[in-house]
Amino acid sequence: MFDDPELVQSFVEESLEHLADIEQELLLIEQQGEQLDLELVNKVFRAIHSVKGAAGFLGLTQINQLAHSAEHVLDLIRNGQLVPSSEVVDVLLRAADQLRWMIQNVDQSQECDIQELVQQLQQAASGAAGEEAASGQRETTEQRETTEQQNTPGPQNETAQEQPSSQSSDGSASGQEKSASPTPVQSNAAPAQGQTQPSAAGETKAASGQAAQPPSPPAAQKQNGAGGPAPQKPTPRTTAAETSLRVPVHVLDRLMNLAGELVLSRNQLLQQLDTSLVQGGGAIVAGLDRVTSELQEAVMQTRLQPLGNVLNRFGRVVRDLARKLGKQCRLEITGKEVEVDKSIIEAISDPLTHLVRNALDHGIETPEQRVAAGKEPEGRLELRAYHQAGKVCLDVVDDGRGIDPQRLKEKAVARGLISRERAEAMSTREALQLIFAPGFSTAEKVTDVSGRGVGMDVVRSNIERLGGTVEVESQLGQGTTVHITLPLTLAIIPSLIVRCGCQPFAVPQVNIVELVRVRAGERQRRIGRIKEAPVLRLRGDLLPLVHLSEVLWGSQPQATEGPINILVLESGQQRYGLVVDALEDSQEIVVKPLGQHLKGCPCLAGATILGNGQVALILDVAGIAASVQLRNVQQQEAEDAAEEEATAADSQTVLLFTNHPEEYFAVPMGLVARIERVRREQLQHLGGHQVLQYEHDTLPVLQLDRLLQVKPAPETRRLFAIIFRLRRREVGLLVPELCDVQEIPLEVDTESFVEPGVMGSVVVDGRTVRLLDLFELAQKAHPEWFARSPAEPAPEAAPTQYRLLVVEDSKFFRTKVAEFLTQAGYQVRQCEDGQEAWDLLCSGQAEVDLLITDIEMPRMNGFELCRAIRQHPQWSWLPVVALTSLSSQEDVQRGREAGVDDYQVKMDREQLLESVGRLLQQKRRPAPQEEPVPVG
């Protein structure tokens, strides 16, 4: 009967193809229950029938007999004589598994003992209404294990008889381990087998080596579109056969390589021709360019397969596992049609299986637990695939018990993975990622479903090897989401070539968010340090900075005078800036693997050959982040989130000091004229006020404990006088001790501690610091100075005539400034940022005589706003006062260029009022008939 190996081989291929979709279809039939889709049953029936016929022809009696029994059951279902209950479908599924195994091991098929299965099939057929249900449950659990085992390939060295009958839990466990542990069998097997035999079979074998469902050949799947069975309108197999062709995988691989080389050659040619183009050559080159691109794309297409291939198999996995664990779980799969490269499909199967098993084993609770927790008894597991920004995302979502970050931390500490201090400092988010740490398992006890040493660390390393990332999010009691991102293909990637020193490196475009160029002049403002780590200020965000030369070669970044090029990179949830020496052009590069001696380089994802033949190493964006322990920096930032946000939004340099040693105060540094050391004996009382006696003069001084509700200052012999100018005179604030000059975030609490003289409080390094309003303090101490405003340069008109627009993103400053401008008698309108102000000006609705604006603002900053105003035909005359925390010469220069009329320190209300008054006099809205007043 085996005299014609070719015939047998084609039987194997054909039968496996017939059986390919059966599992899915049987599960669908089970779901439909009595609302049977006849066409679906027919399809399964036909498939089994074909196998039966061919087996009979070849004299494979065992296969023939089993197929016959299964066919009989299907016939009964088709005729409505038998309801496809779970038990019936269970037997059918096992029959399909057994058939597949026998076909794959066709030379052993005759020795298989199928009698038990045949009996069960007959039993199912005879018990037309499910009488066996009573005993069925126990039996099923036992039989489950057979199925489990059959899911994995039959051990080649065991005899076939042992295989189906060995139901010991031992055997099942080992079978399971095989399927759970991500062995490299699959990826290696496919190409190797592809060379010795037609690929579809090789592929099928390789794939089914890991799980029961062999994917159909790629071309056939293309036909099906979604890949999964279309239950309502099953596509007849014959159609697919007519329009598709089986191609060995290695041929595709070769095509892929050649296309890659062609792309390379094209690039080289383009570079050569670039400078010396002959007449008309452009069109030829353009044509070549286009064809090459299309060819490359088409070849890539042949390797793309829908993720449904791998996702569909989980219907069975979830069903079987849930029953085994006594849980109820509904599986929802979306995005089966999302296509990715074959190599990725193969490689993602194992990690995904592990995650699904984990979710069922540890995530989803038993029905009782769920009900007790107020959830539906049936758990929900969702597999979600979708495209996002040129990547493929895969989410495994369950609504189970979630992960307790606290327990993770404890476990990690107990296992010595992290120190206790580190654990305490960890954010919830970071703690969750601990499950990916090597040697970490959350299971209380090791079960044979998950948690046998093959942990999440393997899942992560497998995914990262594909150039993907994995992260976990969890809400305790609500569920867990594992988020995987994968590249579409591994072979050709668009990338940006950068230089470090004189060496070129390629950075995958998918990781590049944007390019930032920091000019030498902006450096101080945009690049700072948080606890020693360099950061980039980018639109209100703080981004950790990594110097490429430092991370690659450990060399100190050279202090250059020129601009700094920064790539803003993203990998998973991480974002950072990479400082490179130079940017070159974008190129599509063919990824070449690095040799085995270089597998340990964490920062590299491979190599490529540039148009000029030079080798460029491809940077691994996630690897770089990991190797500089970027997480730490980010975590630090997360901890200081509030502070960080405020720093980014606005900050103010202040002088910190104490009055009573426990009470901290701050005054804006911009207001401080100077600081003097004084002795207590220099103080004198003069007319009810304290003054500081100089040789020839006296200086009025203020003491906090006389003006505010504060604890008294200690009686020290030496004091400091913080001297500031007010009403054209100098005033000193006496303080016993100075602490620091510091840039503090302006997250100002304007609720607590507020009294005249105190603007509000901020928290600096865990201490509450009261921010003083020197103006109000002085007013409190010397109201007579403020009785009239003799010093105020009176505008020609009363202030009320003037309408001021205050533009400031910090609410605190905005209200503060608006408040005292209103007090001074102006009409004030407020805008939150430059864009809002600009929109207002452009709307024609606003009457504005003067604009006061902050510099650093989201959307449109003060400089941009000012430049826009100067360009505007209607508003170019508008006086603009810029506010700054502490004016730097550079900012002032930039402001002048942008057309700012005056610069004022934010907290200095006197100076600001004076400036406003002066500008309102100088610059006035041009009356239509008047000549424009020259800008002063």
Partner 1 sequence: MMGVAPSLTPAPENTAATEPVVTFYVGPLLLGLPIAQVREINRHLDFTPVPHAPPQVRGVVNLRGEVVTVLDLHRVLGLPAAEQTLQTRNLIVFYQGEPVGLLVDQVADIVEVDPEELNPPPANVQGVQARFFRGVLPMERDILVLLDLDEALSLTAEKGGNSRQENTRS
Min dist CB 268 to partner 1, Å, is 11
**Which CB sits closer to partner 1, 443 or 609?**
609
Min dist CB 494 to partner 1, Å, is 19
Min dist CB 501 to partner 1, Å, is 9
- DSSP letter assigned to residue 592: B
* DSSP codes of every residue in 752-766: TT-BTTEEEEEEETT
Angle at 892 between CA 889 and CA 897, to 5 degrees: 130
Q: Which residue has the tokens 């590249």?
A: 487
* DSSP codes of every residue in 708-762: SS-PPPP--SEEEEEEEEETTEEEEEEESEEEEEEEEE---B-STT-BTTEEEEE
**Which CB sits closer to partner 1, 600 or 934?**
600
CA 28, CA 289: separation in Å to the nearest integer?
48
- DSSP letter assigned to residue 643: H
| Token pair listed for 440 | 């970490």
Q: Are 898 and 665 in contact (CB under 8 A)?
A: no
Burial class, 173, CB count within 10 angstroms (exposed 0-12 / middle 13-18 / buried 19+):
middle
Min dist CB 597 to partner 1, Å, is 5
**Which CB sits closer to partner 1, 370 or 411?**
411
List residues bridging with 397 in a β-sheet.
382, 481
**Residues across the chain:** 936
- DSSP letter assigned to residue 359: I
Min dist CB 600 to partner 1, Å, is 3
Burial class, 148, CB count within 10 angstroms (exposed 0-12 / middle 13-18 / buried 19+):
buried
- DSSP letter assigned to residue 698: E
- DSSP letter assigned to residue 669: G
**Which CB sits closer to partner 1, 496 or 722?**
496
**Which CB sits closer to partner 1, 311 or 423?**
423
**Which CB sits closer to partner 1, 500 or 656?**
500
CA 326, CA 569: separation in Å to the nearest integer?
45
**Which CB sits closer to partner 1, 270 or 437?**
437
Min dist CB 626 to partner 1, Å, is 7
Min dist CB 416 to partner 1, Å, is 12
**Which CB sits closer to partner 1, 464 or 856?**
464
Min dist CB 812 to partner 1, Å, is 42
Q: Are 146 and 326 in contact (CB under 8 A)?
A: no
CA 655, CA 722: separation in Å to the nearest integer?
9
CA 933, CA 780: separation in Å to the nearest integer?
41
**Which CB sits closer to partner 1, 603 or 719?**
603
**Which CB sits closer to partner 1, 235 or 627?**
627
| Token pair listed for 174 | 């080992």
Min dist CB 899 to partner 1, Å, is 48
**Which CB sits closer to partner 1, 129 or 615?**
615
**Which CB sits closer to partner 1, 325 or 601?**
601
Phi and psi at 838, nearest 5°, equal: -65, -45
**Which CB sits closer to partner 1, 399 or 430?**
430
Min dist CB 160 to partner 1, Å, is 32
Direct distance between the N- and C-terminal alpha carbons of the chain, in angstroms, rounded to an integer: 106
E-assigned strands of 610-736? 615-619, 651-658, 664-668, 672-679, 683-686, 689-693, 698-703, 718-726, 729-735
Instruction: Assign 729 to helix, strand or coil.
Output: strand
Instruction: Assign 385 to helix, strand or coil.
Output: strand
Sheet of strand 803-807, all strands in order from the earlier edge strand to the far edge: 827-831, 803-807, 850-854, 880-884, 902-905
CA 43, CA 230: separation in Å to the nearest integer?
11
Min dist CB 196 to partner 1, Å, is 17
> Rg for the chain (alpha carbons), in Å?
38
**Which CB sits closer to partner 1, 138 or 597?**
597
* DSSP codes of every residue in 826-842: -EEEEESSHHHHHHHHH
Q: At what angle do helices 281-303 and 249-275 cross, to 10 degrees?
A: 160
**Residues 6 or more apart from 838 whose CB is under 8 A from it?**
860, 865, 868, 869
Min dist CB 603 to partner 1, Å, is 6
**Which CB sits closer to partner 1, 593 or 712?**
593
List residues bridging with 332 in a β-sheet.
382
**Which CB sits closer to partner 1, 159 or 555?**
555
**Which CB sits closer to partner 1, 16 or 408?**
408
CA 304, CA 94: separation in Å to the nearest integer?
31
**Residues 6 or more apart from 438 whose CB is under 8 A from it?**
455, 457
CB atoms within 10 A of CB 287: 10
Please report, as ranges, the residues that interact with partner 1 according to CB under 8 A.
261, 264, 438, 461, 503, 551-553, 592-604, 607-609, 613-617, 626-627, 629
Min dist CB 502 to partner 1, Å, is 11
**Which CB sits closer to partner 1, 321 or 423?**
423
Min dist CB 582 to partner 1, Å, is 17
Min dist CB 214 to partner 1, Å, is 28
CA 280, CA 283: separation in Å to the nearest integer?
6
Min dist CB 614 to partner 1, Å, is 7
**Residues 6 or more apart from 364 whose CB is under 8 A from it?**
322, 327, 329, 370, 379, 381, 398, 399, 400, 401
Min dist CB 342 to partner 1, Å, is 22
| Token pair listed for 703 | 């003491």
| Nearest partner of 214 among 188, 195, 190, judged by Cα | 190
Min dist CB 343 to partner 1, Å, is 18
